[in-house]
């Protein structure tokens, strides 16, 4: 065998091996049935009927359902000092390390770490974002934002952009503490006027389009009940999208800046889907029930003193947490069962504590009262007999 032939024999398999390694570094398959690709611009997660583009800076830069863009961006949005710098963190934060990707039950977890250093705007921030993406299409985003130097801003929000082409004419409904408090139609055409379509306090937003197109669920976890949610029409400024902004500055974050070392959390759930209005309504119903369960649990916890009542409360809290997990897995019926079971355990805790309170403050004092009466009567009876014997 000549030297040239030997080189060919060695180099060809080596080239194939290197090419395979390159391809594997770009596309990974995991047991949870989600595929992901790492590009220079984003991590592309591919599900059964959806694609999610995750920014290395923290947040989403696209969500596609059935090949159609259902969501343009979702991330923290900051208005800089004097409103001279107003952008999503995905637009100006710089990644400081490679994204970490790990498998979780029913999905993937992607952790990104980024920073901004803009002395001209007094913006010195760092963000660690955990993105949990499930096979069902649910995405939970948790931003931990901190200041590594004193930072100034005008205001801050978590913000999502919704395409007008997709959601024009859709019905948007807002819920607060299990009750419907808002219902409006997102206008197909911009007829001029102001930016705001609605302002209020909503923990859950649902957007439904008649027919079989994409519906959307948006849930805010931190803050758990946002005090100011703004729904706007960005066609006012020449853009072709609607915005949902959950204001956090002045509520869960300082109103006009963060001191060095300050750290806070913004967390929310996004779920665009093509499962229809019935599914959407059922999911909302379960989430409303979960909100009621949490409210009931908090009230019962205030009076729960006995170990048995505390045991029931712990079980109720565990099941209430499982409601969200079941929704993430796309199991609405299971989620409803968890919510009902959680309520039943909270009710058991209440009944147990009520019984104990009755025993502690009514039955025991009543028994003590009769014992004292009995002893008094017995004592006077003995005295009477003694007096009668002497006479």
Residue 237 confidence class, pLDDT cut points 50, 70, 90: very high
- DSSP H/E element including 21: helix 3-26
On whether residue 339 sits in a domain, the answer given is yes
> Which has the higher per-residue pLDDT, 363 or 63?
63
User: Residue 159: its pLDDT value, please?
Assistant: 96
Above 50 in pLDDT, residue 359? no
Tell whether 184 and 125 lie within a shared domain.
yes
On whether residue 11 sits in a domain, the answer given is no
On whether residue 166 sits in a domain, the answer given is yes
Give the Cα separation of 317 and 295 in Å (integer): 11
The CATH number of residue 107's host domain is 2.70.98.10
Number of domains composing the chain: 2
Above 50 in pLDDT, residue 17? no
Give the Cα separation of 292 and 344 in Å (integer): 12
For the segment 46-68, the average pLDDT, to the nearest whole number, is 93
Above 50 in pLDDT, residue 6? no
Above 70 in pLDDT, residue 2? no
Q: Report residue 382 as tokens.
A: 């003995």
Give the Cα separation of 132 and 268 in Å (integer): 11
Above 90 in pLDDT, residue 241? yes
Tell whether 133 and 225 lie within a shared domain.
yes
Tell whether 346 and 215 lie within a shared domain.
no
Tell whether 261 and 140 lie within a shared domain.
yes
Q: What is the pLDDT of residues 81-114, one digit of tens each?
A: 999 889 999 999 999 999 999 999 999 999 999 9
On whether residue 10 sits in a domain, the answer given is no
Alpha carbon of residue 288 to chain centroid = 14
> What is the maximum alpha-carbon separation in the chain?
141
Tell whether 267 and 281 lie within a shared domain.
no
Tell whether 286 and 245 lie within a shared domain.
no
Q: What is the pLDDT of residues 128-156, one digit of tens each?
A: 999 999 999 999 999 999 999 999 999 99
Tell whether 242 and 153 lie within a shared domain.
yes
The contacts of residue 129 (CB under 8 Å, 6+ apart) are: 58, 59, 111, 112, 113, 114, 141, 142, 143, 144
On whether residue 363 sits in a domain, the answer given is yes
Tell whether 312 and 257 lie within a shared domain.
no
**Of 236, 251, 274, which residue is a domain's last?**
274
Tell whether 259 and 324 lie within a shared domain.
no
The contacts of residue 307 (CB under 8 Å, 6+ apart) are: none
On whether residue 239 sits in a domain, the answer given is yes
User: Residue 212: its pLDDT value, please?
Assistant: 56
Tell whether 179 and 62 lie within a shared domain.
yes
Above 50 in pLDDT, residue 211? yes
Residue 298 lies in domain: 276-391
Per the CB < 8 A criterion, the answer to whether 152 and 123 are in contact is: yes
**Of 274, 294, 327, which residue is a domain's last?**
274
- DSSP letter assigned to residue 105: T
Q: What is the pLDDT of residues 322-357, one digit of tens each?
A: 988 998 888 889 999 998 998 898 888 888 877 654
> Which has the higher per-residue pLDDT, 229 or 349?
229
Q: What is the pLDDT of residues 263-303, one digit of tens each?
A: 999 999 999 888 877 788 888 888 888 878 888 888 888 88
Tell whether 226 and 268 lie within a shared domain.
yes
> Which has the higher per-residue pLDDT, 309 or 42?
42
What percentage of residues in the chain have a pLDDT greater than 70? 81
On whether residue 7 sits in a domain, the answer given is no
> Which has the higher per-residue pLDDT, 43 or 293?
43
If you average pLDDT over each of 9-18, 135-144, 285-294, 367-376, which comes out highest? 135-144
Above 90 in pLDDT, residue 166? no
pTM of the model: 0.79
User: Residue 66: its pLDDT value, please?
Assistant: 84
Tell whether 62 and 127 lie within a shared domain.
yes
Above 70 in pLDDT, residue 365? no
What percentage of residues in the chain have a pLDDT greater than 90? 49
In terms of Cβ atoms closer than 10 Å to its own Cβ (0-12, 13-18, 19+), residue 352 is buried
Residue 12 confidence class, pLDDT cut points 50, 70, 90: very low
Q: How many residues does the chain have?
A: 391
**Of 274, 304, 326, which residue is a domain's last?**
274
On whether residue 284 sits in a domain, the answer given is yes
Name the 3-class secondary structure at 239.
coil
Q: Report residue 114 as tokens.
A: 């980024």
Least confident of 7-21, 248-262, 271-285: 7-21
Residue 307 confidence class, pLDDT cut points 50, 70, 90: confident
User: Residue 291: its pLDDT value, please?
Assistant: 79
């Amino acid at each position: 065998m000549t030297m040239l032939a030997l080189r060919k024999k060695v180099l060809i398999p080596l080239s194939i091996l290197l090419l395979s390694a390159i391809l594997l570094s770009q596309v990974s398959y995991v047991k949870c049935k989600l595929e992901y690709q790492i590009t220079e611009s984003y991590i592309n997660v591919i599900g059964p009927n959806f694609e999610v583009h995750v920014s290395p800076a923290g947040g989403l830069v696209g969500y596609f359902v059935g090949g159609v863009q259902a969501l343009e961006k979702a991330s923290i949005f900051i208005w800089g000092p004097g409103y001279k710098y107003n952008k999503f963190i995905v637009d100006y934060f710089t990644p400081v390390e490679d994204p970490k990707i790990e498998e979780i039950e029913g999905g993937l977890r992607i952790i990104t770490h980024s920073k901004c250093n803009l002395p001209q705007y007094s913006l010195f921030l760092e963000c660690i974002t955990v993105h949990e993406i499930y096979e069902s299409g649910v995405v939970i985003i948790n931003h931990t934002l901190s200041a590594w130097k004193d930072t100034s801003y005008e205001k801050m929000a978590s913000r999502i952009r919704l395409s007008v082409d997709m959601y024009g004419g859709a019905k948007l409904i807002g819920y607060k503490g299990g009750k419907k408090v808002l219902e409006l139609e997102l206008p197909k055409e911009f007829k001029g006027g102001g930016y705001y379509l609605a302002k209020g306090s909503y923990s859950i937003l649902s957007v439904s389009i008649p027919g079989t197109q994409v519906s959307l669920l948006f849930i805010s976890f931190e803050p758990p009940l946002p005090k100011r949610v703004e729904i706007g029409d960005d066609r006012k400024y020449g853009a072709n999208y609607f915005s949902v902004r959950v204001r956090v500055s002045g509520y869960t974050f300082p109103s006009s800046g963060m001191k060095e070392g300050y750290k806070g959390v913004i967390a929310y759930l996004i779920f665009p889907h093509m499962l229809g209005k019935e599914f959407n309504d059922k999911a909302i119903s379960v989430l409303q029930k979960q909100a009621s369960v949490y409210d009931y649990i908090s009230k019962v916890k205030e009076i729960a003193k006995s170990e048995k009542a505390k045991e029931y409360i712990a079980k109720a809290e565990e099941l209430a947490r499982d409601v969200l997990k079941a929704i993430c897995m796309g199991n609405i019926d299971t989620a409803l069962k968890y919510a009902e079971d959680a309520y039943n355990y909270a009710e058991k805790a209440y009944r147990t504590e009520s019984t104990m309170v009755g025993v502690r403050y009514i039955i025991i004092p009543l028994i003590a009262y009769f014992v004292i009466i009995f002893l008094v009567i017995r004592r006077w009876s003995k005295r009477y007999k003694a007096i009668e014997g002497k006479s």
